[in-house]
Structure 1
């Protein structure tokens, strides 16, 4: 069977279940990818290789490296079992060393090119040269850390936890220097744009100042475009585009709301047909890549608002998307798939087709 999953089960019924899954997988010809997908797909790697159970790829981060400091380009993968797995982004070999955290690694951030901050139940700080945590985890949050954003050229870091707390850190001293006054209920994502913090919750996106004062609310709406049966829509992910538009995806349908971040007005509603829910969003130039719960990546032109490409990416939800040097998009999937795919963000490839980031 694929990835030899049946060899890891002492339970015969579990082994039979795995075999039936792969028999159906081949019978449905799901291994035969559509032409559009094959033309865009550059490479696939498996961070779960050698593991007894497949895990969700919760977060991804590409770092370009520093030749002067002998630091290679790397892909950092935050996994559902709390491991942080690291790939050499030149040859795509998995580093033998990994970091083990307490719970799922929900977010990763490059801080000044010297440290990687990883958000789990605690915050782990990894040295990019040694690939080790040189200090004890930061335990200031009382709940899982869901987002880490870097501001002021790496001088400060804001971290957000699921209980709504937002902390400001001084990177040089690794100490909390401020805390937002109000908790943000149902906080799921935190972003920094145009001098403000933007908080994604289940029911709205909020713009707050750096002290935590609420300045603007961008709420969900009930519209005719919302699919029948979606009684209480929720936001699962959002993105702020280069032009200042807020793109927020619904958790259980293909609805994307687009607001003007300065005026606070709803500009447009996009309804992606046959989409089970939006799980991740990232932008590369004039294209927004939207990962869905059914494993499809929809590429939307920011000007026409049309889906220009549909990629059959994974066999589970696209949980993580990240950019690599403005030429590639990298996606990671839920535990039924557990793989990572690299995609060309342009319509051309090198003659060799090799995924090289240091050209």
Structure 2
């Protein structure tokens, strides 16, 4: 036991490090639940003996499961099926005596002697699980499980482990129900990890020298996360509007210890292979935009990534990081072409100004650099603070057909393609300046006008400006919003992500917020449009860390009829 030997009891941080050293890969939330299950929350430290017994049991079961994996079906898809629980002596009516095998997808039976595999049921088809006494032929008065599925009733009697199997099956099946409700398939993988840990927790708890043996039932509840999550109906509620358009959820941090904020996302079409590049922490994860499987290898940088830009004409991706660098990568080869540090502050935005076919990089101290995207050469520079004596930090840069739009906390400066001043838009009500957080531009084909949509960082007010005449068109108020974080224009709708995890859909024609619904448990930090299949993707802050994929193609006024936004007077500029 030298590989995890230590002299003293261990605190939570040491516990996490030990698990990592032993290659027991669990996220922070699961680690906390396991620590509570082993200590019963009676102490801030876990005693050495309990930890050693638990690890011995876990590793013994892991070795047993690996032997069984070779009997599982070969999966042609990218996802891997692996065994979670094995009972070497099980009785199954109509099949006889053999081995029961539970995976994250199916319940299997291996015939005794031949190990011929039979599928008893897929877990997604299970309706209910009951403890019972099955009496038929040689199977009289034997404790068993009655598993009711959508097409049949299955009985299994794992020798001496009916109660254990009941707990493990309930945990997995509960995760299937929740995953179906929330369209988040990653929950099943988390539940599978819970099952592995639960099995070892129960067996180690039968040893009277372990701490959790004092109250094993209570210990089990800590790890039966999805079983009890299921019983809390309020946590499963999704609005009708969200259910209509939600395609699926993805957890880009599923193989990580902690969830990361989804800082930036871009759509990249690689020779008719649609992909979504997602920046989390110092990594870029790349997802197939058809299957939504992620590529095995991530792109890693030295520091946190702040923003991404796809420049399609030259097949390049521009990447900025917290250390004031930006990188230019070839899309096809995934190799870095250049690493540049010309900014003196953190780069907060990279934009493509299509009118002049140039890439714009901007830093928070107001530096604006203009780049030739083909040669990656600097062509022009400007400084917001020097031009306008504006001491506010630059927050965002947006481009329209004709203008470069520079956003600070209380005003917007508009420049033309030569970086010459055109207009200043200030946001003031009475003596109070509004705080700006994000912007986007919409286009009206009938009038050939462009409109700038501006979100407030502290309340639900959105202002709309005509960029052809620099006039305030409309102010819209959404009471349930406490501030905006991200905007995206898709067809006739503005998708707005709020600081409290809501998505709001504004009609760009009628200047109304037509629907608002809860999308994430944290701020909607980024939005992206996938042109290939007309999906809108929202990325959340670290307390959620997920990506939600929404079907924008079914959005129309009939689908989400009913304005919830209040039109306010456009008089106050």
User: Separation in 1 of the partners of 2:476 and 2:357?
Assistant: 37
> How far off is 1:25 after superposition?
9.7
- Describe the SS at the equivalent of 1:38: helix
Match of 1:43 among 238, 248, 261: 248
Does residue 296 in structure 1 map to residue 498 in structure 2? no
Answer whether contact 2:476 2:513 (CA < 8 A) is retained. no
> How far off is 1:26 after superposition?
6.8
Q: Deviations over 1:66-96 (max 9, x none)?
A: 14xxxx21101112x2211111222211112
Residue 84 of structure 1 corresponds to 284
Change (3 A) 1:247 1:9: same
- For structure 2, the 5+ residue unaligned runs are 1-25, 42-221, 445-449, 556-573
Residue 319 of structure 1 corresponds to 525
- Describe the SS at the equivalent of 1:7: helix
Residue 334 of structure 1 corresponds to 541
Answer whether contact 1:208 1:214 (CA < 8 A) is retained. yes
Residue 308 of structure 1 corresponds to 514
> How far off is 1:160 after superposition?
0.6
- Describe the SS at the equivalent of 2:545: coil
Change (3 A) 1:192 1:306: closer
Does residue 218 in structure 1 map to residue 419 in structure 2? no
The TM-score, its normalising length taken from structure 2, stands at: 0.54
Does residue 7 in structure 1 map to residue 207 in structure 2? no
- Describe the SS at the equivalent of 2:424: strand
- Describe the SS at the equivalent of 1:239: strand
Change (3 A) 1:181 1:298: closer
> How far off is 1:153 after superposition?
7.6
> How far off is 1:182 after superposition?
4.2
Residue 55 of structure 1 corresponds to 260
User: Separation in 2 of the partners of 1:24 and 1:202?
Assistant: 41
> How far off is 1:148 after superposition?
1.2
Answer whether contact 1:181 1:211 (CA < 8 A) is retained. no
User: Separation in 2 of the partners of 1:104 and 1:219?
Assistant: 32
> How far off is 1:11 after superposition?
10
Judge which range, 148-157 or 278-287, deviates more.
148-157
Does residue 127 in structure 1 map to residue 330 in structure 2? yes
Greater RCO (CA < 8 Å, at least 6 residues apart): 1
Residue 151 of structure 1 corresponds to 353
Residue 162 of structure 2 corresponds to none
- Describe the SS at the equivalent of 1:93: coil
Change (3 A) 1:266 1:154: closer
Answer whether contact 1:218 1:259 (CA < 8 A) is retained. no
Does residue 344 in structure 1 map to residue 557 in structure 2? no
Residue 441 of structure 2 corresponds to 240
Change (3 A) 1:203 1:314: same
Higher alpha-carbon Rg: 2
Answer whether contact 1:253 1:276 (CA < 8 A) is retained. yes
Judge which range, 282-291 or 307-316, deviates more.
307-316
User: Separation in 2 of the partners of 1:266 and 1:125?
Assistant: 38
User: Separation in 1 of the partners of 2:355 and 2:269?
Assistant: 16
User: Separation in 2 of the partners of 1:273 and 1:223?
Assistant: 20
Residue 268 of structure 1 corresponds to 474
Answer whether contact 1:181 1:212 (CA < 8 A) is retained. no
- Describe the SS at the equivalent of 1:242: strand
Change (3 A) 1:201 1:11: farther
